Chains A and B, each alone.
Chain A
Amino acid sequence: MVNRNGYTRLDRYDSIVIGAGHNGLICAAYLARSGRRVLVLEAAESPGGFAARREFYEGFRASVAHTVSHFSRTVADELKLAAKGLPSNFRVLPTVGLNTRQEHIVLQNSSLSGADIRDADAYARFHALLARFARALEPFWSKTMPRIGNNSIGEALTFAHIGFNLRRMGKRDLHEFFRIASLPARDLMEEYFESDTVKTAVSWDGLIGSKIAPRSPNSAVLTMLYRMSEQAGHAIPTTGVAGLVDALSASAKDLGAEIRCGQRVSRILVNGAQNGLSVNGVELASGEMFRADEVISAVDPRRTFLELVGAEYLDIGFTNRIRRLRCDGYVAKLHLALDGLPQFSGLESVDGRLVIAPDPDTVEYAFDDAKYGECPTNPLLEIVIPSIRDESLAPADKHVLSAHVMYIPYRLKGGWTDAARNAACERAIDTIERYAPGIRDQILHSEFLTPADLEQEYRVTGGHWHHTELAIDQMLMMRPTYDAAQYRAPLPNLFLCGAGCHPGGDISGAAGHNAAGEILR
């Protein structure tokens, strides 16, 4: 095999990607496409990370990340995922705000049904406004955020472009953008809506996955706008969320990348030289070493720098900024193996994203419990029945219920014991039962993964969805922190491509795509 330097080396790779989550796979595929010899090393037995299939009970499977949202169209096209079996059109799940009075509301694209006409009108206005903002910001999620100061012309243009896109919205919209961009979700919702269920369902995407409560300023609206970009809306492909991973793996392999699973990287190898350090390979837990011209980590920044690289190769200020990254996850995962399709009172179809969050206060108070390291009295849930869309997830006539449970603290007071986990799990099931009476009788098996479990099983610090908090102080050219925000680590030949980079997590693929662009530049 001839690499780009023109000579044959079998023991070396051009690029090694650590972690075969979707971002790692995307980055690997792009690098392979450019002619590089790429090796992807995954600690788990199969690729996919949070999106991978997980058999939690015999015959029952689920992915921790249970929907695909705002997945990059560019990536899907450029990596020809359709040819690898990914349905080209995702059918978006409606978001259903559940209500104990059975006055459920349904959000589908720009329409709101089930609420009174004032809220429905307000939602149309609200959605149109946010869609305009989301459109203006969209190009920047799939771009490297330049450094501030000593910019090249290209980078200065990115800033000018942002300014231009915003200004083009017109004075009125721009003024409104300034006003609402940093508003707490609650304030924004109060301005538009009457119904509590509408308020929580609409603002759900501004809160979930982060340590943000309805009253927290600064980050909720940006998170919502991020999730309104690209193919907005939450979907489950007919091949399942894991189907996306299958397509990405197939694409990467097709393009020449080698994917090895069950290979846990224990160290990134750093080479010292007179004019500075550089990264030149990785060492596996088994002691095996691989050399490469560049190493790209899809692992979260904290783990990448503090465990795989090590403080001795990093500057002190930088190390401590990485140490201070807010990485504690606040979402647990509940998987139920069900004997049949569950029935939610007053709900015709359970084929949606069902949100249990009665009102902004309940959400706020649940957050209050979690911030002191306690499990909330009233947990909040986002439920889907993925087996409706992807029949391979459960045996015939049986179903899987998959739920994100908020706010479950990573650091529980007294620590996560089996008893604590069971209690949290039972409380979540009790909560579901209030909306779906009788569901308990359908449960064949349950699994509850706390953020600490997610950390353990998926090797993601804090079990955090976004690898590190998606908050404005850790966003854009400060994600994960300055000096590593352009996908380049402060060590030559080391790059980042995971959710801890701009623009953040969710199965959007933007980080992997942008990182590859930066490496190939």
Chain B
Amino acid sequence: MSRHDAIVIGAGHNGLTNAAYLAKAGLDVVVLEKNDYIGGAAVSRELHPGWIYSNCSYVCSMMRQAIHRDLNLSTHGLLLVPYLGTINFGDGDGRLFAYHNPDAAHLELKRHSPHDADAMHRFQADLTRYSQLIRKTLMRTPPEPTSFRPKDIREFLFLAKQFWSLGEKEIYEYIRFFTLSAADFLEDYFENDLIKAAMASPGIIGTALGVYSPGSAYILLHHVMGDVDGNIGAWGLARGGMGAISTALAGAVKAHGGKIRTNAGVRKVLVESRKAVGVLLENGDELRAGIVVSNLDAKRTFTRIMDKADLPEGIFEKACNFKIRGSSGKVNVALSGLPRFSGVPNNRYINRGGQTFSGSLETMERAYDCWKRGRWSDNPFIESIIPSAWDPTVAPPGCHWMSNFVQYCPSALTNGPWTPEKRERFGQTVIDKIERYSPGFKDLIVHMEVRTPHEIEDEIGLTEGNIFQGELTIDQLFFNRPFPGYGQYRMPVRSFYMCGSSTHPGGGVSSACGANAAREILADLRRPNTVPQDDFHDE
């Protein structure tokens, strides 16, 4: 039996971030990972010789630059390259190119709708305003609304001040925005179907809501509040694949003296007199530690690796009721050449950003209707990207790899459990849709990996394969995340913490959850804080 100051369960990016900051404070930390590779959903794996798949998360925007800089992630090999444009494919021949250059963007929008081209300025100003406010909370611990402790009251006053600084009108608009559906929100600005669909697509990624479901406007914001070098809403690719982020974070953990153990799945968190004292590994080993931090989602943490008997009354039920729904699939494809897309002259811009097959709001909503009925749509929403078009390290020369994120894919099918045949059929549906826009696409396929929620849960442990570790609805956001009363990373068992995306600020490769949890842990241990404050280009 070995003893550590801290055990972090799960070597996803938040677990690694948490461990890095604990180690930086001088703690003896060990990160335990059940797989033989680290990274959780931020991973790059050579699943076909020569092709490096980022087979879960595929792009990055929310990574806090303060953490990037503070943990010297660039020294540890991380380079984030921004997207400069995306092609949105309409239901028919419609194509909408999203340009980075404002003049070009305006002309392109004007081609679809002069009204919308103009409305885009107001839309962007409003969205920027909304994200500026929410971004301020990313690396802060949410206050507890029932508490009268000075710290919580101070935090509430801080928030009130931020809120107040919006001015009366924008306060109402903000509240409104938080509760609206993506479609209703967008219809305040736009009239063109393709533009609406393109703008709505971040509103459904990863969630079990549709574009018409109230609350999806926030999901939209959650995806655009990140930034790359001050460009709010911009996305970037990690050179070498998303695994480069995990590798860099692991480098930081080790540089500060932390340890990472792979093939070390945790069977159970050991609790003695309502205090976490260590973990029992799958292989029977017992590890003891002063504190235990779980990077697993809330449901898995409290229903799989903890005993109901060790938990205060009601927590187990809360965890069971925690909304963590599988709604996304992923089809990763190795290609022998660059696909050509119809309606995209000379195949330009393929190396500047992604391809989004959004169609129209109705297409997206109908895909959601299928999810509700426990099946996948024949016409799913797909967000694709071909990173190899500008990252030479992820595919052999002249060859390419394409990431296709699919919304929606149910975790449970009405017609019985997932089988390999069904999985292949699901993959085929996705390929068929891409083929419609890229004749000859199928002939380029060298290797293909299809991942339904079932595989995502199995391999990396996200319950139902939910990419956010829990739905981003108001009942599970901010001080309600994961449950009301436990929004400050401390869990109902002493010395036990959570640091994954099930905590504030939620999903996305941001490292913020892990860093926030580390700050709270260090405060409890009365150690000096090692976590930096967030900073922004635009403030």
Contact = CB atoms under 8 A, between A and B. Distances in A.
Chain A partners chain B: yes
Interface of A: 147-150, 167, 171, 174-176, 178-183, 187, 191, 215-219, 324, 326, 361, 364-365, 368, 371-372, 471-473, 477-478, 482
B362 A372 contact: yes
Interface string B173-184: 001100110001
Contact of A171 (B146, B214, B473): B146
Nearest to B320: A191
18 contacts: A149-B168, A149-B171, A167-B146, A171-B146, A171-B485, A174-B145, A178-B475, A179-B484, A187-B321, A216-B214, A217-B215, A324-B187, A324-B188, A371-B365, A372-B362, A471-B179, A473-B176, A477-B172
- Indicate the member of A176, A179, A187, A326 with the most B CB atoms within 10 Å: A179
The B interface is mostly helix, strand or loop, or mixed, namely: helix
B372 A478 contact: no
B209 to A, nearest CB: 7
A183 B475 contact: yes
B473 A182 contact: yes
Report the 5 A-B pairs with minimum CB-CB distance, sorted nearest first.
A175-B484, A149-B168, A182-B474, A178-B484, A482-B172
B369 interface: yes
A175 B172 contact: no
Contacts, number: 88
B420 to A, nearest CB: 28
B168 A148 contact: yes
A175 B146 contact: yes
B475 A182 contact: yes
Given A148-B172, A171-B146, A478-B176, A218 B214 contact: yes
B484 A147 contact: no
Contact of B213 (A149, A176, A180, A215): A215
Contact of B180 (A182, A365, A473): A473
Interface string B116-150: 00000000000000000000000000000110000
B348 interface: no
Contact of A215 (B176, B321, B365, B372): B372
B483 interface: yes
B169 A482 contact: yes
Given A171-B485, A182-B215, 9 more contacts: A148-B168, A179-B475, A179-B484, A182-B474, A217-B215, A472-B214, A477-B172, A478-B172, A482-B169
Interface in B461-511: 473-475, 479-480, 483-485
A364 B480 CA distance: 27
Given A149-B168, A178-B475, A473-B180, A217 B214 contact: yes
B451 interface: no
A217 B473 contact: yes
Contacts of B175: 473, 478
A365 B168 CA distance: 39
Contacts of B480: 178-179
Contacts of A219: 179, 214
Contacts of B168: 147-150, 482
Given A178-B484, A215-B213, A368 B369 contact: yes
Contacts of A176: 484
Contacts of B209: 217
A472 B145 contact: no
Contacts of B369: 368
A149 B174 CA distance: 14
Contacts of A171: 146, 485
A371 B364 CA distance: 13
Interface string B235-262: 0000000000000000000000000000
Given A217-B213, A218-B474, A482-B169, A472 B483 contact: no
Contacts of B536: none
A149 B323 CA distance: 35
A473 B214 CA distance: 9
Given A368-B369, A473-B175, A473-B179, A181 B213 contact: no
Interface in B12-46: none
B97 interface: no
B212 interface: yes
A303 B179 CA distance: 25
- Among B146, B213, B365, B373, max chain A CB count under 10 A is at B146
Given A171-B146, A180-B475, A187-B323, A218 B484 contact: no
